[in-house]
Each structure stands twice: as C-alpha cells, then as structure tokens.
C-alpha cells in the first residue's frame, strides 16, 4: 500500500523510500510539544513508590534516525527509542505491532509519540491506545489530516474516552528539502492526541491549528531558489 508521504514524495520527483523512512522535520514535533504544554497534556508526571511526583518518559516506537526523538529531547523530555530496524545508536529493535514489550522497557513510560508507518497506522494507534489506557498516559500520532474519517476509525474517536485533541498543520510537510523546480508536497497532516489521564478522560476533544514557523518557511524558500543546497 502506498502511503501519504510516499505519494507526495514520488510526485515531487523523489525516489520511494523503503520502510516508510520519512523523518519528521523538527518544527513539526516542536509544534506538538508546544501545543501539548499549552493545553496541559505535557509535561507528564507520575508517582514513585513513595508517592512522590516524578517525570515520566516518552516512547518513540518508530524512531528511524531519531529526528522526532531529538526534537522532544531538545525540549527536555526523556525519550525511549525503538524501531523494527533501529539505526545505529538510536534505541532498540522492536516491532511495535507485536504484543510484547521491548527489552529494557522503562517502567516510567507515560506517553507514546510517533510518526507511524502509514500502512500500519491502525495497528500502531491500537497498540498505543491499549497500552496508555492501562497506564493513564498520552498518545500522539502524526497522520494524514483525514485519518479520522471513515467507519472503521469511529472506535479511535467517537467511541474512545481518551480522544483529546487534533492539531492541524496548516502547511504541508516537506519531508526533504526542496530543490529548484520540484513540486511541493501533496498531503496535509495533523497530530491526533489521546489522553487517559483521569482529568482528561471523557472531557471531549478540542482542535488547534499550527503554521510553519517563519524561519523554517524562509529556509524552505531559499532551498527552492537554490540559495541553500538541499
Ligand atoms: C515514517 S518513519 C518515522 C521516523 C520517525 N518517527 C521520525 O518521524 O523522525 C517510519 C519508521 O517506522 C519503522 N517501522 C516500520 N514498521 C515498524 C514496526 N512494525 N515497528 C516499529 N517500527 C517500524 C521504520 O523502520 C521507520 O524507521
């Protein structure tokens, strides 16, 4: 099955990437973290055995080269990385669709945040929701903007008590820096957020919008003009 990112990049003249290896530009993850902090979903905290408040970690289960994880770590979050085929130095091998937990799984995981391979998005969301519902945690997935549309998706939204927020990206994601003469990307994306923290469950969902930051827009414009090498 072709994925959103795959089609977008092929139409832009790029080669198809294996294993859906489209790494998320930093601003997209930073925009999520900003929004989650503003809306009160982050930072995540839990209690240790003595009842003391302690920070929880985030699991990036399709970490690729770690761009998304780096952006979260850059905002002060502890990130646990796994991937079905981990890049050297970026976390551990683990198939997220398998019903087992990875080796060395830290007990203090409170959230799952990723850009899943699009042909396994349902499975990824399913596994993440099941796991975070049991822990009262958070899930955020970067998906095509209309991913919530469709009868089979009701269970993730209308029928899910943890469904909390949709953060729509008003600009399309450039998965690679553009070169002069290349067409722009063709897919729109959004962050879909679920929270099973007691204070959020059953409260209904909200919507937010975010644009590409000005500095990133200027940089992409310069790439398109050939002023910066892609
Ligand atoms: C779209 S990339 C995401 C990269 C990263 N999340 C980012 O945006 O910076 C998809 C990644 O999912 C991994 N992957 C594919 N199937 C997987 C599975 N079943 N379990 C875990 N990782 C998987 C691929 O190896 C690839 O690195």
Q: What is the pLDDT of residues 56-102, one digit of tens each?
A: 999 999 999 999 999 999 999 999 999 999 999 999 999 999 988 88
Q: Is the CB of 84 under 6 A from ligand 1?
A: yes
Residue 3 has pLDDT above 60, yes or no: no
| CATH architecture group of domain 4-224 | 3-Layer(aba) Sandwich (3.40)
Q: Is the CB of 81 under 6 A from ligand 1?
A: no
pLDDT at site 19: 58
How far is the C-alpha of 192 from the C-alpha of 2, rounded, in Å? Answer: 21
Q: What angle do CA 117, 150, 171 make, to 5 degrees?
A: 55
| Cis preceding-peptide flag for 43 (omega within 30 of 0) | yes
User: How large is the angle between the packed helices 26-38 and 67-74, nearest 10 degrees?
Assistant: 40
pLDDT at site 101: 87
> Which residue has better confidence, 108 or 60?
60
How far is the C-alpha of 138 from the C-alpha of 194, rounded, in Å? Answer: 6
How far is the C-alpha of 57 from the C-alpha of 38, rounded, in Å? Answer: 19
Residues 126-134 have a mean pLDDT of: 96
Which residue minimizes the CA distance to atom 2 of ligand 1?
A: 21
Q: Is the CB of 61 under 6 A from ligand 1?
A: yes
pLDDT at site 12: 41
Q: What percent of the chain has pLDDT over 70?
A: 90
Contact (CB, 8 A) for 141 and 4: no
Residue 13 has pLDDT above 50, yes or no: no
Q: Which atom of ligand 1 is nearest to the CA of 118?
A: 1
What pLDDT digit, counting tens, does each position of 136-163 carry? 999 999 999 999 998 999 999 999 999 9
Q: Is the CB of 67 under 6 A from ligand 1?
A: yes
Domain borders along the chain are 4-224
Residue 10 has pLDDT above 50, yes or no: no
pLDDT at site 9: 37
Q: 85 CA distance to ligand 1 centroid (A)?
A: 8
Q: Which of 117, 119, 127, 189 to mutate to test the pocket of ligand 1 (most atoms within 8 A of CB)?
A: 117
How far is the C-alpha of 153 from the C-alpha of 144, rounded, in Å? Answer: 13
163-169/189-195 β-pairing:
antiparallel
Strand partners, 57: 109
pLDDT at site 229: 65
pTM: 0.90
Q: Is the CB of 83 under 6 A from ligand 1?
A: yes
pLDDT at site 107: 83
Residue 215 sits at φ, ψ, to 5 deg, of: -65, -40
Q: Is the CB of 201 under 6 A from ligand 1?
A: no
How far is the C-alpha of 136 from the C-alpha of 111, rounded, in Å? Answer: 9
Token pair listed for 8 = 């977008």
Q: Is the CB of 95 under 6 A from ligand 1?
A: yes
């Amino acid at each position: 099955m072709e994925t959103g990112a795959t089609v977008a990049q092929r139409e832009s003249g790029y080669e198809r990437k294996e294993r859906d290896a489209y790494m998320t530009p930093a601003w997209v993850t930073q925009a999520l973290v900003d929004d989650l902090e503003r809306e009160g979903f982050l930072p995540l905290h839990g209690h240790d055995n003595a009842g003391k408040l302690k920070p929880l970690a985030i699991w990036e289960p399709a970490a690729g080269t770690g761009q998304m994880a780096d952006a979260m770590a850059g905002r002060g979050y502890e990130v646990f990385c796994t991937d079905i085929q981990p890049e050297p130095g970026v976390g551990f091998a683990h198939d997220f669709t398998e019903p087992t937990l990875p080796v060395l799984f830290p007990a203090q995981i409170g959230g799952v945040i990723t850009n899943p391979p699009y042909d396994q998005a349902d499975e990824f969301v399913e596994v993440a929701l099941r796991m975070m519902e049991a822990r009262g945690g958070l899930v955020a997935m970067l998906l095509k903007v209309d991913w919530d549309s469709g009868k089979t998706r009701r269970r993730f939204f209308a029928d899910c008590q943890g469904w909390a927020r949709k953060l729509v990206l008003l600009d399309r994601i450039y998965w690679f820096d553009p070169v002069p003469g290349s067409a722009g990307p063709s897919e729109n994306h959004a962050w879909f957020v679920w929270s099973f923290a007691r204070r959020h469950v059953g409260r209904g969902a909200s919507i937010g919008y975010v644009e590409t930051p000005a500095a990133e827009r200027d940089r992409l414009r310069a790439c398109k003009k050939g002023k910066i090498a892609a």
